[in-house]
A and B are shown apart, each in its own frame.
Chain A
């Protein structure tokens, strides 16, 4: 039952904010923050209570499950389950949700409605991470689009309609392919066993011919390749990020992109292990291409948000490598990478927002010398840039290093080429530092807007990244997936399993 609470609390808070707050942003902020903090605390409590992580034999157990019939005629169940992977990503979701809630301020129109949409998006993302029924997973995955689209249209800047339409079309196309794969799997399972079900653990054991298996896997991969995104399915992303509001961009990049990584690690690779091995070279090649190409594009941008957007795509390319490395090192590296990238990209977009608010521009050619104006802010942004370029001592390095290590086992050349992404990442990261913070101070339209609060958030995020960089073990222990194929012992049952 606790999983249900975690899932619905943000949405309930959003509704409360919508009806209670109206145009009062302070009320909206308070309610939304509380509705994010509550599931966050529940998750922390769950983590603390679950002692099995450090014990290798018990490490791969579900922490909690919840199942209730939904559409029994088709065997569709409202089934939730949580293991280490789902726990960490839910934690990330609620943490980023809390950050977003706290950054609400008077500048947003219709704060109540804004809070509601942010909350609905959060709940949908939690649904993706917690669903253990593939139909429920797909519904959550698609439902994400609705608040996301509304947030883009209603609260974005610039050509929002074009960006939102692109975003919608791309992800919708990907989603449809996944739907076909899921339905196909459902039918194949029915034909083989006579049981109608969408349950993850059941469908995982569906006997499939290698060709069919590869076909279904392709459907999943394409959906996730759009969402992550992988080159060449990435073109919707920079426009979307650039035109979305700061809060929306943070939720998109820090969490929504992770739903794709999660999907790869949870469904695509474990459900079709044989096919995944076949597809691995091709998919990993796309991953390497994404790392290099997106980093190169990041170097050519002048809009800070676009730089971070491309950088984000570049770093998520590593996740594909980790997922298809087919070993524990790569998988857990990918999970750490998702968490750390979520934290660092949140900080980066906050920093970009602060810069835009204080100077009125995101164009790095017009910026300069910000270090002189605010050395503290400069230091924080510098550390976030260092996290992005994968400096040891910060969490992102742990993720990327483990991914490369895992990849090297079967694909040494791929790992070696991907490693050069570190040079390209350093190139664009240092370019930001140099253009924005170094150099002589330029005239800025200094506003009275205080940056103390966002800077505190950045400091907290950095503290977390440093902590993970030096003491990643608790995170690595928790970063385990319950592989469906190894989990037949757990019997399905309706109702509370917690």
Chain B
């Protein structure tokens, strides 16, 4: 049985091997084999992950984690870091999501990308992404984690800019990389601080030391720096600007990277390093505030978008805001549960949207869709299921259980009432934009021709995920519904438990009723505004407020003027390098002196005599008095 445990390394290594094969020999491999390699390696990883999950439950490993050292990485004096893996229950959830949803998205892509001339390149990048993400969640030290962290950033760059011939995509790709890199630098500095303070980057050792030390300004600063990294990767305010533009990549990429997995890396990081945040309560509260602000802003922005993928992008930002809210409120397992359900229904929504986009010949404007209910029933129903889960329709959707858990635990946390109210307002907005999208796309009159049906490779993932978006909610039921805690019991092997258990059932029911009312109100308002065919053609993007929201609340505008333009315009203006002027001035100064000295060479004898006499006097004076 130890043999199985020793296979841990193959979970990230399989997709990596797929990437290497495709990258080196891709142009000699037939398309059919390309998809076999790409889908095969990730599916095998998923299978292995399931085996490990099974073993985790049936025969829990020592210390509740599988561990494996791979190789000795960097050892210099007191600095020592190895490449080593650690699979505990938190990583397990991440690994399952990454590999299973990753495999489904790979399968889906075989059809979605079938006509693309760079088919091989696409799958190579996708495999590399999965490998990097698995390294991130399996790493047992921060530097190895950082390798995966930057790796997913790279893949994100490559995949957003996948259709590189359009300069717009290249710009979006570079923007994503640069904005997240600002966060990465904060995280790097955080690592330096932690290393010099605790003498290690090994996560478990580090967290043990943190718990012994308790409060200190080092921890507060470290928490703030790590938060900077998490904000960048997870697209939270004020570094959220890259995520909507990231929709320039092919839709499966949006599903995999910018919804289900990569953007949740920040959530994972905070959850993983939770003792640091617990010992820095001010920063932990900041996490909650950032989450609340983000979920509200991004939700409002989603309301004003025309592009279906941008709605989903803002929705992702907003939903991750919920996860941050939960992390900040100490609702650790609720955050991870929402990550889990969100990964499923958001992957579903993106892939269903992709099916629509392909069918409509790459039309993404919702105002040019409409009436697709009858022509694309499978997509309609799966999309509806995903939407209901996103909007958190009570009782039957996974999104309801995870969001409800967050809201309840936020309410019962310290200073949680206001944050809870923001969360409920967010729930209303979520339902509103979700059903605006549904009414625009699927109801009313049909405006675009359907070019292409949905094949099995795309339909199958949709159906599986639609089932998931319903069923996984029952992994974790609130106290009033029987208090079934499969998910949180599992993940609380790693994360601290919740604090809200003492609250009364009546409070729980009341809170549930409020958020349910918000959801239904949102759906109802959406129906009145966009449900009837007559009104929905009205172009809202012309009104000033809508324009502001459509542009993402002016963050881009601000950054462009405050940072990007000055930097690039300044660099262009200074291309010849102002320091040169220093030396030019030096040279002209010397020339001027030389010139004036040359004028003393006048040829007049009495001047020379005078100068010699003057020099002699000075010389004598010096000799005598010095």
**Chain A residues in the interface with B (C-beta under 8 A):** 231-232, 234-235, 238, 296-297, 299-302, 327-329, 332-333, 369, 371-372, 375, 379, 386, 391-393, 398, 401-402, 404-405, 408-409, 412, 415-416, 419-420, 422-423, 426-427, 430-431, 433-434, 437-441, 470-473, 476
Q: Known pairs A300-B574, A391-B154, A392-B147. 14 more at Cβ < 8 A?
A: A234-B579, A235-B580, A297-B577, A300-B568, A329-B77, A329-B78, A392-B151, A404-B192, A409-B196, A415-B189, A419-B188, A434-B174, A438-B170, A440-B166
Bound-state CA distance A235–B583 (Å) is: 9
Q: Which of B551-607 contact A (CB under 8 A)?
A: 567-568, 570-575, 577, 579-580, 582-583
B233 CB to nearest A CB, Å? 14
**B521 in contact (CB, < 8 A):** no
B73–A473 touching, CB < 8 Å: yes
Chain B residues near A416 (CB-CB < 8 A) = 189, 192
A3 CB to nearest B CB, Å? 27
Chain B residues near A393 (CB-CB < 8 A) = 147, 150-151
Q: Tell me which of A300, A379, A441, A473 has the highest count of chain B C-beta atoms within 10 A of its own C-beta.
A: A300
With A392-B150, A423-B181, A439-B167 as contacts: A232 and B188 at CB distance below 8 Å: no
A232–B582 touching, CB < 8 Å: yes
With A329-B77, A439-B170 as contacts: A426 and B178 at CB distance below 8 Å: yes
Chain B residues near A427 (CB-CB < 8 A) = 178, 567
**B9 in contact (CB, < 8 A):** no
B165–A372 touching, CB < 8 Å: yes
B192–A405 touching, CB < 8 Å: yes
Per the CB 8 Å criterion, the residue count for chain B at the interface is 54
Chain A residues near B71 (CB-CB < 8 A) = 470-471
A299–B571 touching, CB < 8 Å: yes
B579–A300 touching, CB < 8 Å: no
Q: Can you list 19 contacts pairing A with B, beta carbon distance less than 8 Å?
A: A238-B577, A299-B567, A299-B571, A300-B568, A300-B572, A327-B77, A375-B121, A402-B76, A402-B79, A405-B196, A415-B192, A416-B192, A422-B184, A423-B181, A426-B178, A434-B167, A434-B174, A441-B165, A471-B71
B579–A232 touching, CB < 8 Å: yes
**B146 in contact (CB, < 8 A):** yes
Bound-state CA distance A74–B169 (Å) is: 67
With A299-B568, A423-B185, A430-B174 as contacts: A439 and B573 at CB distance below 8 Å: no
Q: Tell me which of A332, A333, A422, A430 has the highest count of chain B C-beta atoms within 10 A of its own C-beta.
A: A430
Interface string of B138-164 (1 = CB under 8 A from A): 000001001100110010010001001
B181–A438 touching, CB < 8 Å: no
B165–A472 touching, CB < 8 Å: no
B74–A412 touching, CB < 8 Å: no
Bound-state CA distance A423–B77 (Å) is: 28
Bound-state CA distance A299–B174 (Å) is: 14
Within 8 Å by CB of A430, from B147, B165, B178, B193, lies B178
Interface string of B53-77 (1 = CB under 8 A from A): 0000000000000000001111111
With A408-B196, A476-B76 as contacts: A419 and B174 at CB distance below 8 Å: no
Q: Which of B177-216 contact A (CB under 8 A)?
A: 177-178, 181-182, 184-185, 188-189, 192-193, 195-196
Ranked 6 nearest A-B pairs via Cβ: A300-B571, A438-B170, A438-B164, A328-B77, A300-B575, A408-B192
B177–A430 touching, CB < 8 Å: yes
A230 CB to nearest B CB, Å? 11
A422–B188 touching, CB < 8 Å: yes
Bound-state CA distance A430–B180 (Å) is: 14
Bound-state CA distance A440–B568 (Å) is: 23
